[in-house]
Amino acid sequence: MDGGNSGDGAAGSSSSPLGGAPPSGGTSSTGGTDGPGPSGGVSSGGATVASGGQPSGGGLSNRGGAEPSGGTSNRGGARSSGGTGPGGGTSATGGTSANCTDIVPPGNDSCANAVEWGWCTADWIGDYCAATCGRCGSTSSGGTGSGTGGSATGGGSASPTGGTGSGNLSVPRLNGGQQASTTRYWDCCKPSCAWRANAGGKNPATTCGKDGNSTVGEDARNACESGGTAFQCNWGVPWQVGPSLSYGYVAFNSGGCGTCYQLDFPNGKTMIVQAINIGAMSGSNFDLLIPGGGVGAMNACTQNGAMWGNVDAGVQHGGFLASCGPNMSCITDMCRNAFGSNAALMAGC
């Protein structure tokens, strides 16, 4: 993948590139080469960043290690264990959400849009905009079991792996962090950290077939090469766990595979990210993995296997936001047209 245009912010910390491999995961078993030019386009803004070190859960696949506690599995684990009910059995606090709140889908202005644009009944909406869409009070899957049931920590529905959607998780803002810039991309390519040689002794990131879900062998050829079958998996989409907190993945040149970072943005939002790729950008730039963020020079989304088929992927370096500017209705329409049948990518977009 390629890095993005640098945003505002001073230079950040530096260390050797991931595993010493050439940028982007590229076209060979050791990382290969990268094409010219940024994929991030217009910067998402400056961010204050601090490294969280290596995740204690190990590994780089299926959201493992993206969170400080070792990450979540398929969006589970971002919440606590589901709360505790007195004495086990049917929990006094289980069954219904205690603090049903509105969590706006990433990149949108308000939950009023969910009603206006008919999102409330869409499969991808999940627990976003629960109050506005009238889903408060719905039963959760927590509330039973031997003292480990109950309601999910921040409200919303609880899943067996920890709950998703409208939580109220937060982390303290950084004190003394370094300045960095952020851009965005989603090139559908096999990430650099999917090669064992680049993974620094950890399990490499998993890669998927063209459907974005079925895994392929770690030695599978990068889909950015002609005839390659290893694509970026849908697990790479960002996800929100609180009004101001999200998790996700990045390409970053100044830290090792699997290293986690906290990004504090000037607008009060925070994102915890894990490095799974590298690219052609400055050492202080974090290129956020976001569907519709720009296919870049190493494009497996609409070329070399066409993971998405014949869709409008937006501006090559910058994606939907670069195509639409601040027009959220335009961006939403592009997301829907490209990913309307893919709940995971739609939510991430």
Could you give the 3-state DSSP secondary structure of residue 89? coil
Give the closest residue to 331 by CA, choosing from 5, 39, 105.
105
Quote the tokens at residue 196.
């064992």
Using only C-alpha atoms, the chain has a radius of gyration, in whole angstroms, of: 19
Residue 127 has a CB neighbour count (10 Å cut-off) of 25
- Residue 308 has, within 13 A of its CA and on its CB side, a CA count of 29
Q: Which of 264, 287, 312, 333 is catalytic?
A: 287
Is 312 part of the annotated catalytic residue set?
no
Distance of CA 169 to the CA centre of its chain: 16
262-124-188 Cα angle (round to 5): 60
* Pairing verdict, β 245-251 and 45-53: unpaired
- C-alpha distances (whole Å) from 226 to each of 15, 24, 222, 293, 318 are 32, 16, 8, 23, 24
Are 346 and 335 within 8 A, CB to CB? yes
Question: What residue spans of the chain are helical by DSSP H?
Answer: 112-116, 319-324, 328-339, 343-348
Please state, in angstroms and rounded to a whole number, the distance separating the CA atoms of residues 77 and 123. Answer: 21
Give the closest residue to 2 by CA, choosing from 26, 30, 29, 28.
26
Q: Which of 2, 34, 187, 264 is catalytic?
A: 187
Is 211 part of the annotated catalytic residue set?
no
User: Which residues are marked as active site?
Assistant: 187, 287
